[in-house]
Structure 1
Amino acid sequence: MDDAAFKSHVEAYVDENWETIVEDIRYLVQVESVEDLSAAEPGKPWGPKSYEALRRGLELAERLGLETTNVDGYLGFGDLPGASKTYIATIAHTDIVPLGLGWTVDPLDVTRKDGYLLGRGVLDDKGPFVLSLWAAHFFVEHVKKTGKLLPYTLRAIVGNNEETGMGDVPYYLERYPEPAFCFTPDAEFPLICGEKGVYHAEFTSDAIAGEKILELDGGTVPNAIPGLACALVRADASKLPDAPHIDIEDAGADEQGPLARISAHGKGGHASMPEGTVNAIGLLDAYLLENNLCSDAERIFLNFSARLCSTTDGTSANIQSADDKFGPLTCISGTVRTVDGRFVQTVDSRYPTSTTGEALTTAMTSLGKEYGCTFRVLSDAVPFYIDPNSPEIATLLDTYHEYTGHEGTAFVIGGGTYARHFKRAVAFGPVERAEVDTIPAWVGAEHGPDEGVSEEWLRRALKIYIVSIARLMELDL
């Protein structure tokens, strides 16, 4: 079959199966697959809901003709055996970040609106995961029809712990050989060949909450800029001044007097792409400080928190840095909570090769001491980079260009994907970087409310994936 005929066959395959593909995405979105280590057990290391998404993912893979393996509940995979045990892999994940607030549609269902799919995970990463299964299914049908094995085994890996630490892939790599090449559909086109270091940490105040601020509660996860942050304070709500992006509610009273709930509304987004976002924690800090809704000790923490939220380039934490591959460092405040009577604030930094996690720790430990906070590192993954001048990467970029007409040049990002855990791997779509300005304002970003993705982008990505895999199979790996 020549190239034009093959592409025509792929086109018909996607058209014929699209409605079933959307329903498969819905089947996964219905599971609130957030990590819950408190309920973990043997065979379900990330908790029961994450496991249910893994189970459903493997169920879909088996239905689509792949030979499935559950790797002790850490993750799984579906294989189409080839003429060689050497394998080409895709890897996508079935776990999600918490739902959060601010949704206008059901986050645990797929809502179709004006050519977009909305729901938690439709973009990150249940929708793309389903595409990876259907790309593999195309070759299952091809092998059945022709009776000829693919040159290499094709493996669709079902990740299950990407959002909270990627503990699933190291477990896998301890038990199975590396793929000859792997791509993850969990980022942007054209192709991502490098990722900044990903650094998560937290500050805990020495100050005891409760004198004026009973509770701080902002954000959902450390790796997202929060769109909502709230405080429960000792105040008469009727006497508090109005302010932009601030809601004030009467919260009753306790034995010491009236209580008010202050809610600040920002503009959320992914921690690796803070441009254009507005951190709700910073808005809340400013209102509480301006209206003296804090004790002297609480004020010290609020000043500290406001400082952290005042920039996204690390200057407020004295950790700014940049290099020629990745550009500037980013640093955001992701969450604030009241834990055991103290304020706990997390930070997420994406750093280039011009600095190190150790340097970040030194600077932020010192900053925390200045404001009466202890500092603790939660995780640190070093930067990842793969030389873009390889036949595999050229194959993917050429296929992308053929389908989109957009320039096919590899680039680097601040986000962290599964690619960083493999020797030869990249992140490849499905978001169209060249067309992001066309997304309607009511379509939310990954990790935020009303998370959405263009159906046309997904359809096109599936075609790109199928043709790319066919061409990778022709390379000498």
Structure 2
Amino acid sequence: MTNLDCNVIRQAVSARQADFFKGLKEVMQINSVKGKPEIDAPFGAGPKQAILKALELAESLGFKTQLINNAMGYAEWGPETRDYLGVIGHLDVVPEGTGWDYDPFDLTEDNGILYGRGVLDNKGPIMSNLYALSVLKELGFVPNKTVRIVFGSDEESGSADIPMYLAVEPAPVYGYTPDCKYPAVYGERGVVGIDIVTRFSDNSATQIESFIGNFDRSSVPDTLNITLKTGEHLEIKGKRSPSNAPEMGLNTITLFAKQATVSARFNGELATYLSWLSASFHNKHDGSGIGVAFSDQESGTLQLTPYELEITKDQARLSLSIRYPISVTEEKVLSAMTEHLVPNSDLIVTRRMKSTVFDRHHPMLKTMQRVYKDCTGEDGTPVTTTGATYARSMPNILAFGPSFPGQKGIAHNKNEYMAVSDLMKNMEIYALTLAELLA
């Protein structure tokens, strides 16, 4: 337990709001979407620039900093030792998309709400940890353990930055990533990406001249533009949501398949394919339409999201993201799905991440549970998630915050936001947690 009074920490956190938002704004103004690799910027100039800005701010706050392989950087505080508590976040962001009411690459406050790409995922939370640490330093707290705030640059595109960091630096002894939800997340479901490739032998796919959507693995697609061989143009509108919250969106891929089937617009093998696609996937986010509705008590029901469809003259390729319960194996999912494919189809695995489970009896979890309850008055019992975080790639960490219960579907959408009160509550929770863990 820390000898710092909790009320003192809360007051000090509140007093640093303007300073914190000023630093965060500087990071938010950098477009850190993954770009073309460069010699000294493996994930593009933007993500590298964001890391350098975060390290510049960390140095101004009095912390030791280091850039690792141009892929990650860290701010360090505490005894000179290679054993450290790690707080791992990322400064890369998903593409901004369209339809914003605010500048996506800025920090804009409007009626108590902060807007900007990355304010929630993950610039706001990881920078709140840096400034929380600065608050403890300002209060005269002396850490008995070493802590690193680690800034990543490729979490949204596969976490290839983690191996580049671990090639030079040891993994944390334990720690967390502020890139998911509260309470503490001890388990993350397994993730498998699948392409179902279906061949057509009757030229029926030539009924479609072009097929263009706003496809991205991280989101449920909400726009589809189709030109038919007859010259007719179809525009299908859905509702965008994160791929790990498909029930909050309306998928244009499956909506198109349903509409095409109901109207009997197409014929031949293409019509058969679209009928299968509609019956198997439209609003069947649990995988029940294709035989994979697995579930368990700890992590709930399997979650399935079609996120891309490509139709050429002789085949269709449907891309799926599947998040399966922690007690289920990838092999079980693939085996069950194979039995429910439309004829002339092959199943290809494009991405795989096994589920990860952190020791539920670890003392850090007890600390997190206590601090969360003290700060919010809510139950802090650890949970599981459908999300995929750095906890899958960086050993010995779990996810902790920043979203509170009931907050879903915000991160990858237009007008990504976070309430001022929520971001400051995060900073308070992280300051109190770090004070406990470093005492």
Same fold (TM over 0.5): yes
Separation in 1, partners of 2:157, 2:34: 7
Hey, what does 1:123 align to over in structure 2? 120
Deviation at 1:169, TM superposition (A): 1.7
Hey, what does 2:361 align to over in structure 1? 389
1:462 counterpart SS class: helix
Amino acid at match of 2:196: F
The CA RMSD over aligned residues, in Å, is 2.7
2:148 counterpart SS class: strand
Hey, what does 2:268 align to over in structure 1? 296
Hey, what does 1:347 align to over in structure 2? 320
1:48 aligns with 2:80: no
Q: Does structure 1 retain, via aligned residues, the 8 Å contact 2:224–2:236?
A: yes
Q: Does structure 2 retain, via aligned residues, the 8 Å contact 1:264–1:284?
A: no
Hey, what does 1:26 align to over in structure 2? 25
1:360 aligns with 2:333: yes
Hey, what does 1:232 align to over in structure 2? 226
Unaligned runs of 5+ in 1: 235-255
Q: Does structure 1 retain, via aligned residues, the 8 Å contact 2:69–2:164?
A: no
Bigger shift: 389-398 or 170-179? 170-179
Unaligned runs of 5+ in 2: none
1:156-196 Cα deviation digits (max 9, x unpaired): 01011111211222332233222122111111112111110
- Count of matched residue pairs: 436
Change over 3 Å in CA distance of 1:461–1:373 after alignment to 2: same
Amino acid at match of 2:211: L
Q: Does structure 1 retain, via aligned residues, the 8 Å contact 2:326–2:356?
A: no
Q: Does structure 2 retain, via aligned residues, the 8 Å contact 1:187–1:428?
A: yes
TM-score w.r.t. structure 1 length? 0.83
Separation in 2, partners of 1:92, 1:25: 14
Separation in 2, partners of 1:297, 1:315: 23
Bigger shift: 97-106 or 185-194? 97-106
Hey, what does 2:212 align to over in structure 1? 217
Deviation at 1:346, TM superposition (A): 1.6
Hey, what does 1:11 align to over in structure 2? 10
1:402-461 Cα deviation digits (max 9, x unpaired): 11111111111111111233443221112111x64xx9xxxx611112221111111011
Hey, what does 1:105 align to over in structure 2? 102
Separation in 1, partners of 2:70, 2:319: 29
Pairing of 1:447-466 with structure 2 (within 5 A): 447-466=412-431
Hey, what does 1:472 align to over in structure 2? 437
Separation in 1, partners of 2:314, 2:22: 45
Deviation at 1:125, TM superposition (A): 0.8
Separation in 2, partners of 1:186, 1:57: 17
1:388 counterpart SS class: coil
1:127-184 Cα deviation digits (max 9, x unpaired): 1121121122224435xx57xx521111001011111211222332233222122111
Q: Does structure 1 retain, via aligned residues, the 8 Å contact 2:89–2:178?
A: yes
1:179 aligns with 2:172: yes
Hey, what does 1:87 align to over in structure 2? 84
Separation in 1, partners of 2:268, 2:24: 51
Change over 3 Å in CA distance of 1:395–1:283 after alignment to 2: same
Q: Does structure 2 retain, via aligned residues, the 8 Å contact 1:136–1:154?
A: no
Separation in 2, partners of 1:341, 1:470: 61
TM-score w.r.t. structure 2 length? 0.90
Identity of aligned residues (%): 26
Pairing of 1:423-434 with structure 2 (within 5 A): 423-433=395-405
2:129 counterpart SS class: helix
Separation in 2, partners of 1:24, 1:336: 41
